[in-house]
Each structure stands twice: as C-alpha cells, then as structure tokens.
Structure 1
Amino acid sequence: MQRCFAVLIAFLFVVFTSPQASAVAATTEDAAITASSWLTLVDGGYYVQSWQTASRFFRSAIAEATWAASLQAARSPLGSLVRREQRASQLATSLPGAPDGEYCILSFATELTNKKTAVETLTMMREADGQWRVAGYFIK
C-alpha cells in the first residue's frame, strides 16, 4: 500500500512539474497579469485607455467612442470593485468569429458595490509581438 502511494506521488510530481505543465501555467499566468492590469483601467473608469490597450482585433471590432459609452453604461451602475478572484482559465487556438491564434479565456468571480455576484470573462489574445492583449470582455 505504501509503495502504491509512493508511486502515485512520484507520478503526480512528474506530471505537475513537467515542462509542458509549467509552460501552460506560465502562459496562463502571463495572460492573467495583463488581464488584471486591463481590469484596473476598467475599474478606474479609464474606458478609452482600456480600448487603446486592447488587441488590434478588439479595436477593429468596435470604435473607441462606442466602447467607452457602452462600458460606461454597463459598469457605472454596478459600482466600484470590492473584490475579484480568478476562477478559471482555458487556452484555445480557435474561437468562433476570431482568427486562429493563441487565446486564453479567463473567468473572474467579482463583487462590486451594487452587484454582489458578477462574473467577468476576458478573452486574451497573443498578438504578433508576443504580448497578451484583451480581445473580448463580458460581465454578467
């Protein structure tokens, strides 16, 4: 029994410390860091700057003024940020309505002063320069 347990522990160690697992974790972490910085702009009401720092794909899909007005209308009634916790991440290479590429979909459990249980979903896209940028944002 102890031998089986030791083999199981060794197996799990190899799986979770493999270069591939580490690369996935690093990729997800890089995307999450960029997402958090972008969300800080949104939380602060810097909607134009959030558009300016988003991916080229994002900026081509919606005009700066339209984005700023839409986000103002959606976020302002919800109040200020109380807390946010990342709940999930998923890597993808293909998404509906988007070109093939590297994507990371991040989900956050968010509490705002006027909305206790919100879910924010960000789609991050790795651009040609290697940087992660926001390609989509949804709050419900």
Structure 2
Amino acid sequence: MKLLAIFTLIAGMFTHLLANAGETGTAGQIPQAQAIASQWLALLDKDQFTESWKQSATLLQQSVPQHQWQEAMNNIRTSLGTVMSRQLKSAEARSSLPGAPDGEYVVIQYETRYTNKAAAIETITPMKEKDGTWHVAGYYIR
C-alpha cells in the first residue's frame, strides 16, 4: 500500500511537470523576446529603418517590402520626433494572433513619449522563427 501511495505521488508530480512545461515555453522566453525588441527599437530610434527591416521576421518581410517599410517608418518617426522616454507596459506570450499563423509570439507594449507626441503606446511583436531565433514580426504605434 505504501508503495502504491509513493508511485501515485511521483506520477502526480511528473504529470504536473509535463502539464506545466507547455506554459513555460513561450512565457519563459519573454525576457529573450524583450531583449530582441529593445535591440530592434534601438535601430528605429537611430533611423536605421533598412536595418530594422533586415532584422525583422520573415513574416513582416513578406508582408511589407523593404522600400515601403523604410518610407512608412521615416514618415511616422519624422512626424513623432525623437523618443524622449520608453517604459515597459506589458509583455504577454501568445500562441495565436489575429491574421497571423499560429506560432510562438510575445506581444510587448511600451508607453512612449516623443518630442511631438506626449503619450503613445508602441506595440511590438517578436516571434520565434523556425530556426529557433526571435525576430520582430509586428510593430505599430497608437
């Protein structure tokens, strides 16, 4: 009887570990996705729009041609002005997003202040590519 109780306890712990393994997949990688997002935003902050496109996810590159990306970012960033401050608002791991294929994503929002816009919300979405690396798949400012 004691052996059965120990086996049940071990089996329960193993089942719990397996059940929670999926939860820590993307959620556990939020810091890595945030680091990629910060590096990528630094490119935008330095007006390196072509390089930001080159370092973005294949999904973004296939959706927006490089010249359109560069023109759009130049227009948007010129009208907003220089980044004065940027504070992390939230970061959430997701496995699906509207209009995007299922995968591993982290939706990150920053409260950002520009010289010409006092309060903006930047949303940046890194995704895990097939090769296991994280790249930015989406970006918009509200």
Deviations 1:80-117 (A, max 9, x none): 11110111011111111111110100000001111111
Q: What is the percent sequence identity of the aligned residues?
A: 35
Greater relative contact order (Cα 8 A, min sep 6): structure 1 or 2?
2
Alignment of 1:2-41 (within 5 A): 26-41=28-43
Letter paired with 2:117: K
| Structure 2 portions without partners, runs of 5+ | 1-19
- Structure 1 residue matching 2:29: 3-state secondary structure: helix
TM-score by length of 1: 0.81
**Greater than 3 Å deviation, 4+ residue runs:** 18-26
Decide which of 49, 73, 83 is 1:47's aligned counterpart.
49
1:139 aligned to which of 124, 138, 141: 141
- Identify unmatched segments of 5+ residues in structure 1: 1-17
Report the CA distance between 1:26 and its aligned residue.
3.8
CA RMSD of aligned residues (A): 1.8
- The counterpart of 1:94, out of the listed 93, 96, 109, is 96
Matched, 1:81 2:74: no
Local SS of the residue matching 2:101:
coil
Using a 3 Å threshold, how does the CA distance of structure 1 residues 23 and 127 change in structure 2: closer, same or farther? closer
TM-score normalized with structure 2 length:
0.80
Q: 1:41-70, CA deviations, whole angstroms, 9 ceiling, x for partnerless residues?
A: 001100011100000010000100000001
**Count of residue correspondences:** 123
Instruction: Read off the aligned partner of 1:63 and give its amino acid letter.
Output: P
